[in-house]
Amino acid sequence: MRISESIRADVLAAVGLPDDLSGVASAQEQARRRDPAFREKVLLAYQYRCSVCGHDLRLGRQTIGLEAAHIKWFQAQGPDIVPNGIALCSLHHKVFDLGAFAILPGSYQMVFSQHLNGGDDAAGRMLAYHGASLILPQSREYLPQADFLEWHRKQVFKSPERPVC
């Protein structure tokens, strides 16, 4: 089973294995070159805040809990380019990689899965973004590319989606 990087780290931690073991998961993945600047480029494009909730906590210059997420996973040959990335806080990164919400190309509206449930506190806070637009990057050239969004919606998102009023 293929899993995203954010989830893989959790799985490894849960079974007591170190994170760096994930590096030996696939020789093919190892062979592909990663852009070490991907994270920084994506965070800059989104002005160092989560594109869902606006989370932008910092300690000095150090961001806390802010990540550059791949829309089309690196493991699925998603490239390390800004239009395949969005800045997300750790929670929204997990939720996105698990397929709890998708982003519609064109409107950049977030739609949540009918499978996402919970009490008022947890689910309510998450579902407050249902139908809302992503906080967009500072330049059009950084906008999420439609084919990557469609890949995520088809391959990762847990359909059916909740209706947007």
Nearer CB in complex with Zn ion: 44/132: 132
Q: Does 69 bind Zn ion (CB under 5 A)?
A: no
User: For the window 75-94, what string marks contact with Zn ion as x by the rule CB under 5 A?
Assistant: --------------x--x--
Count of residues near Zn ion by CB under 5 A = 6
Cα–Cα distances in angstroms (integers) from residue 125 to residues 27, 118, 130, in the given order: 40, 10, 10
Q: How far is the CB of 43 from Zn ion (least distance, A)?
A: 13
User: How many other C-beta atoms are found inside a 10 Å radius of the C-beta of residue 85?
Assistant: 29
User: For the window 1-40, what string marks contact with Zn ion as x by the rule CB under 5 A?
Assistant: ----------------------------------------
Binding test (CB under 5 A) with Zn ion, winner from 52, 103, 111, 149 = 52
